Amino acid sequence: MNNIEEIVKKASEQIQKAQNLEAVEALKTQYLGKSGEITKLLKSLSEYSVEEKKKIGALLNCAKKDIEAEIEKRKEFFASFETEENMKKERTDFSSAFSFNFPKGHLHPISQTIEDISAIFKSLGFETAQGPEIETDWYNFEALNHPADHPARDIQDTFYLEGMKNLLRTHTSPGQIHVMENQQPPIKVIVPGRVYRNEASDASHSSTFHQIEGLSVDKNVTFIDLKSTLTLYARNFFGFDLDIRFRPSYFPFTEPSAEMDVQCFFCKGKGCGVCKGTGWIEILGCGMVHPNVLKAVKYDSEKYTGYAFGIGVERIAMLKYGIDDIRLFYENDLRFLRQF
């Protein structure tokens, strides 16, 4: 898998440096032709097990699409350049006399983190869904195994709207209910979005932040499927040389539940200020979908099983970029944002 990433990176660099269309076509043959590097790897899939074929095949198909996209982009550049040169010959262009140099825009680090995480799960076969930010109590709590007297409701300080019937969602988990109501298994989706908690802001907390909910439901889905999927995600995002562990935990809508830790990538498990001396960093919560949740959407819990997980985007962005105060993401200080 590391080899695939290196090939894509190398191909991208060479394509961007290509000086003409002939050079671009030569690189296309080198990587995607009958004897190309990606083609050879695709042909070698027969050497692997069925599960390995699925994982490696998905990565290879993404690599092929990425290289094809880079090639098309470079071809379009030469085509537009040629068109521009022809136009210059036909008329005088006065626009350069009044040109202004504006700095290039870019994605906010939170948006970039969401895109990076989503791209990994897309390569693993997940689709992306959206859910409303204003929810009813049923979607946000009841359907997720939080009855009215459930103590877990106290964990999440909620913004209720007038009349107390609607609220600002406290997590992206209601998205899985909307998906399951409108679709029969098999289901593999992620639901990124903004969530709200009625709590004071400080360096590690905010009343508004982002999560990515993940859900997979089908026949014979097991905890092994959950672990293998999330392990692939963590190693693609944080690095293949880091250890990963799962710890028992509790969430009302999953059973059994777990929290996932990755070996601290700052100290490599030795213990530092970032991991508070433990050598581990918590990155998400997960578990097998509770039968009560499946029953709430009228799924046969004897026939179907599934797993779910929730990722705090700000936490991941803070770890990735070495940021120690969540409030920096929302102050819109250009001195901060231009670093990314």
d(CA 37, CA 314): 37
Same structural domain for residues 72 and 141? no
Same structural domain for residues 220 and 163? yes
Same structural domain for residues 61 and 159? no
Task: Report which secondary-structure segment, H or E, holds 295.
Answer: helix 291-296
pTM here?
Answer: 0.67
Domain that holds residue 281: 109-337
Same structural domain for residues 229 and 186? yes
Decide which of 48, 73, 98 is a domain's last residue. Answer: 98
Q: List, for residues 202-215, the tens digit of each pLDDT value.
A: 888 889 999 999 99
Same structural domain for residues 68 and 214? no
Here the contacts of 73-78 (C-beta below 8 Å, separation 24 or greater) are 74/15, 74/16, 74/18, 74/24, 75/21, 75/24, 78/20, 78/21, 78/24
Same structural domain for residues 73 and 121? no
Strands (E), the chain: 127-128, 134-136, 166-168, 187-196, 208-218, 244-251, 254-263, 280-289, 305-312
Positive or negative, the CA dihedral 178, 289, 59, 279 is positive
State residue 156 phi and psi, 5-degree precision. Answer: -110, 105
User: 279-299: buried (b, 16+ CB within 10 Å) or exposed (e) per residue?
Assistant: bbbebbbbbbbbbbbbebbeb
Same structural domain for residues 165 and 249? yes
Say whether pLDDT at 179 is over 90.
yes
Same structural domain for residues 178 and 66? no
Q: List, for residues 80-135, the tens digit of each pLDDT value.
A: 766 656 655 656 666 666 666 777 788 999 999 999 999 999 999 999 999 999 99
Share of the chain above pLDDT 70, in %: 92
As for how many domains the chain has, the answer is: 2
Same structural domain for residues 233 and 308? yes
Does residue 103 belong to any structural domain of this protein?
no
* Mean pLDDT of all residues in 141-146: 92
Residue 16 structure tokens? 């961007």
